[in-house]
Each structure stands twice: as C-alpha cells, then as structure tokens.
Amino acid sequence: MTVRRTYKGGFTLVEILIVVIILGILAAIVIPQFTSASQDARKNSLTSQLQTIRSQLELYKLQHLDKLPSSLIGSPSDWTQLVNKSDNTGTTGTATSLPFGPYLQAIPVNPLNGKNGMAVVSGDLNAGDAVTGTPGFVINSNDGKVWGTSALADKVFNEANTADTNNDN
C-alpha cells in the first residue's frame, strides 16, 4: 500500500488577489498624503525664505542710510545689491575692501513657481491679491515689505495658511 502525500506548494489565485487588493487600498491612502507633504514643504520653504529676505533687507537698510536696494526696486528689478558686496552708498563690486554684504548667497527662487523676478508695488498687498506679470516675489518700494507669489505666480502667497493645499496660494 502506497501512501499518497499531497503537497500544497504556493498560493492560490484568490490569496494573491486579496493581497494585491489590500496593497492597492493602502497605496490609495498613503500616496495622496505624500503629494500633500511635498506641497506643504514648498510652502514652508517659501515662508522661511521670505523671513530671510526680509531680515536681510532690514540689515541692508541699517547699513545703507535707511535706503532700500535701488537695484531691487528699480526697473528692471534685480538682486545685484543683495548678492554682492557694497559700500554705504550701495555701489557694488567684488572687491574685498567693500565693507557690506553680500546679504544673500544667491538670487532666491520661489519654490512654489520657480521664479526669481521681483515685481514692485507702492502699497500693501493681502494674500490672494492679483499680481501684475508672473514674478516670484513682490516688494513694496515705500517700506520694503516683501511677499512671495502663489504657484501660478499671479497672486500674493498666503503665508498665514501654509497648510491649506486646496488653493493656489
């Protein structure tokens, strides 16, 4: 008499399908959270960058007779006086004898839209206000207040609401 041994080697199709369905459900739950996290990180990076720009503008004003960088509020606007050394009149150069600056290591780029241009306004703006053109930043030429622009670079970025990912700000 021979004894028959049955050998069950492997998984059934139903077991494999159940595992695949469970993995699909988990992926559907987790992936949107990572997408939101990267957008939140860009918003937090912009907020931090704006704080740095504002503090460096204040330092520039202290060292340059309470004047804003004329290259930043000029037309066209550029970052020359903030990324180079300068004297107390704002004249820039690379000479080590120039006493002030540089205030920024490199020209800042808005992480929400990849733009580094500066739009100049003469009054205060609020979150969501429309911006002319598509700059990365906006500066008030009267007091030096700086704002970032939204992902589409057409509105002022809402710093107070950095966790909100359901709008363009």
d(CA 153, CA 110): 9
d(CA 1, CA 126): 91
Instruction: Identify the residue whose tokens are 């780029």.
Output: 109
pLDDT given at position 21: 97
**DSSP3 helix / strand / coil % (the chain, rounded to 5):** 35, 10, 50
pLDDT given at position 168: 52
Mean of the per-residue pLDDT values of the chain: 89
CA neighbor of 153 nearest in space, from 164, 140, 167, 137: 137
- pLDDT digits over 88-113, tens only? 888 998 788 899 989 999 999 999 99
- pLDDT digits over 41-94, tens only? 999 999 999 999 999 999 999 999 999 999 998 888 899 999 999 998 889 987
Question: Is 86 in contact with 72 (CB distance < 8 Å)?
Answer: no
pLDDT band at 122 (very low <50, low <70, confident <90, very high): very high
pTM over 0.85: no
Q: Are strands 118-121 and 137-140 parallel, antiparallel or unpaired?
A: parallel
pLDDT given at position 164: 46
